[in-house]
Amino acid sequence: MNVAQKLISSHLVEGKMNAGEEIAISIDQTLTQDATGTMAYLEFEAMGIPKVRTRVSVSYVDHNTLQSGFENADDHRFLQTMAGKYGIYFSRPGNGICHQVHLERFSKPGQTLLGSDSHTPNAGAVGMLAIGAGGLNVALAMAGEPFWLVMPKVMKVILRGSLKKGVSAKDIILDVLRQLTVKGGVGKIVEYTGEALKNLTVPERATITNMGAELGATSSVFPSDEQTLAFFRAQGREDEWGELRPDKDAVYDEQLDVDLDNLVPLIAAPSSPDNIRTVREVQGTPIKQVCIGSCVNSSYADLMIAAKMMKGKKVHPDVSLTVSPGSRQALQMISENGALADLVSSGARILESTCGPCIGMGHAPPTGAVTLRTFNRNFPGRSGTPDDQSYLCSPLTAAASAVAGVITDPGEVLTEPIIIPLPDKYIIDDAMIVPPSPEPEKVVVERGPNIKPFPVKEALEESLTSRVILKVGDNITTDDIMPAGAKILPLRSNIPAISEYVFSKVDSEFTSRAKASGGGIVVGGMNYGQGSSREHAALAPMYLGIKVVFAKSFARIHKDNLINFGILPLTVEPEVYDTLEEGSEIELPSVAKEVKESDRITFIDKKSGKTFTTLHGLTQRQREIILAGGLLNYVKYKA
């Protein structure tokens, strides 16, 4: 078996490991972050279970740390008291970004991790099966329930050769995105192999697995080998390491080759992670902002690369440079060795160890300006500026460009490669990770006025008639459906309030139209719901009465979230998509019966009088969830 199959087989609860067949796996660890965690813990609390049943569950605060009003601070108190009461570790604000801290302090080869954030596969760098999912799925995992998914294909990516001057791990994953696109990993686990692995450290591997989320992949994984052991030894966790490699005769479903010897610095141009160019193609483009950090490229090694590039130099007068350390550990490391002073001396602005600019929480670029970011996503407007021109690049390219004031190929600036060896020992200080209370019965959960009850949908009606209230194109993201940013993120625990912003970037009248019509139907193109795992992109539309989404295809996590909240996702052919129009009245005359008994759903476009049928593609379990009106109803019914 390959590594992915070994991880799945050792956790298989139900089903067979045949690609395309639904399976269930046990979950060892969970993580949440504050933007998704509040709702996840409300869902967990509703199950009435006294303590989490995982080996390790961690609640992180890394998204909503700005505290511009009471809402975020109240949520943090709720999260900390919930963690203390229910057996969950709590990583305090400022301790770092969930994926970086989890990699450092909680990851474990051979185990499974389910996280309410789409970049959870970051932990695949150490040989974990780490999967992003909606908060309700994570709540169920904390309750001891298995995680259901369609058995993915396993794609083998062979890394050959070695990185040359100016090229880094970020360029490897950008090259994979260039070859596969943002849809190329759907239904797959991407497993990395090859001779180049012996020279790729765990932080470099994490850059690659983290951005595997942009491929649409279920997860990405590396073997657990000597590099992994070195990382765990440096973290003081050698006893938690275990070897995990593919068998010599391992079989894979697909294969991709990446030649590192011929790789050059790459960049993702606006406004998609797969819009890949060589840096030389866009070299000389004037820039106004550079941001280094986020859950990708914010490790100690990444910060050291930036510091070495900036040492003795100054940020260009036209450029604002921000640096967000991924963890308090990384910040302490560069504080002690002088690298932080080099960054400050250069003119860099040092931000808190949080997600920050990556999710539009401050530091939006100027109107129409080019911003270079070492982040993982450059969706339109995600930075907080509607007409942003966001490029994704490596810390090497970012630092070189910050000095030059224009996009610059780092290979042309460097006289020799910058090599950051893995430290023999990281600074270990877990003071900002609060363990569960030894007396949980005495913990009182604190709830601010912004925390509202979890909304529940009724069971599926026997028949449905509703209007199409929005039609959108391909690659609609969950940022498009449910935007983030400093104004909206604080409302994540208040569904009535946050629902006012559904599709607000796409159509400012959507919410009022949904309310006026008592809900409706949304029509989408290819890869509908790509990007973040935020279940609010399904939960808030459900609250507004959205009953069905027709799309040419769906991103995995978002489709699961739609099902979890009782919204019927139906895949239609391009010619059917072309026929459906905003304002069309759609009748599904026997929807409940067909969901229950048939593989097809019949619907009538009453404007044209045409009748269509489409395969719903639901598994037996998903049929029951839709019929019940959502996963929470289904679990209660089963109980």
The confidence score (pLDDT) of residue 485 equals 83
Whole-prediction pTM value?
0.92
3-state helix, strand, coil in the chain (%, to 5): 35, 20, 45
* pLDDT at res. 376: 97
The token pair that represents 508 in the structure block: 């400012």
**At 454, is the pLDDT very low, low, confident or very high (cuts 50, 70, 90)?**
confident
Asked if residue 271 and residue 353 are part of one domain, the reply reads yes
Please check whether residue 565 lies inside any domain of the structure.
Answer: yes
Whether residue 325 sits in one domain with residue 270: yes
Same domain, 591 and 534: yes
Contact present, 340 and 304 (Cβ < 8 Å) = no
In a domain, 442, yes or no: no
- Give the end of a domain, one of 389, 412, 435: 412
Query: pLDDT for 484-494, tens place per residue?
Result: 888 888 898 89
When the pLDDT of each residue in the chain is averaged and rounded to a whole number, the result is: 96
One domain, residues 337 and 485: no
Same domain for 298 and 255: no
Are 621 and 567 contained in the same domain? yes
Same domain for 228 and 148 = yes
What is the spatial distance between Cα 83 and Cα 37, in angstroms, rounded to a whole number? 11
Confidence of residue 387 (pLDDT cuts 50, 70, 90): very high
Same structural domain, 187 and 256 = yes
Taking only the tens place, the pLDDT of each residue in 173-187 is: 999 999 999 999 999
E strands in 108-152: 112-115, 129-132, 147-150
Tokens of residue 242, six digits? 């275990």
Query: Which residue in 132, 135, 75 sits closest to 99, CA to CA?
Result: 132
Q: Is position 419 within any domain?
A: no
Name which of 555, 557, 560, 554 is nearest 572 in CA terms: 554
pLDDT more than 70, % of the chain: 100
**One-letter amino acid for residue 8 of the chain:** I
Round to whole Å and give the CA distance between 628 and 133. 20
Q: What is the pLDDT of residue 533?
A: 85
Token pair for 436: 């569960």
- The SS3 assignment for 89 reads strand
* pLDDT value for 80: 98
Query: Based on the domain organization, do 252 and 281 belong to the same domain?
Result: no
Confidence at residue 162, expressed as pLDDT on a 0 to 100 scale: 96
Residues 6+ apart with CB under 8 A from 620: none
- Tell me the pLDDT tens digit for each residue of 289-331: 999 999 999 999 999 999 999 999 999 999 999 999 999 999 9
Instruction: Read off the pLDDT of each residue in 74-87 and give the average, rounded to a whole number.
Output: 97
Residue type (1 letter), 55: R
For residue 455, the SS3 value is coil
Q: Are residues 98 and 140 in the same domain?
A: yes
Q: Is residue 440 part of a domain?
A: no
* pLDDT value, residue 483: 92
Same domain, 497 and 564: yes
Residue 423 is assigned to a structural domain of this protein: no
Tokens of 82: 């919930």
Strand ranges of the sheet holding 370-373, from the earlier edge strand across to the other edge = 276-278, 266-268, 389-392, 370-373, 289-292, 320-323, 349-350
Does a structural domain hold residue 424?
no
Q: Which of 236, 303, 271 is nearest to 97 (CA)?
A: 303
SS (H, E, C) 196-259: HHHHCCHHHHHHHHHHHHHHCECEEECCECHHHHHHHHHCCCHHHCCCECCCCCCCCCEEEEEE
Domain boundary among 219, 238, 262: 262
Range of the domain at 100: 3-262
Q: How far apart are CA 82 and CA 57, in angstroms?
A: 12
Task: With cut-offs at 50, 70 and 90, classify the pLDDT of residue 200.
Answer: very high
For residue 295, the domain's CATH number is 3.30.499.10
Q: CB of 1 within 8 A of CB of 9?
A: yes
Q: What tokens appear for 175 in the block? A: 């090259």
Q: Is residue 428 part of a domain?
A: no
- pLDDT value of position 532: 87
Which pLDDT tens digit goes with each residue over 9-22? 999 999 999 999 99
What's residue 66's pLDDT? 82
- The structural domain count of the chain equals 3
Q: Rounded to an integer, what distance in angstroms lies between the CA atom of residue 491 and that of residue 418?
A: 43
Kind of pairing, strands 12-14 and 22-25? antiparallel
Angle at 88 between CA 83 and CA 94, to 5 degrees: 70
Task: Give the Cα separation of 25 and 2 in Å (integer).
Answer: 17
CA distance 220 to 218: 7
Residue 299's SS3 state is coil
Q: Give the C-alpha separation, 289 to 364, whole Å.
A: 9
Q: Tell me if 212 is assigned to some domain.
A: yes
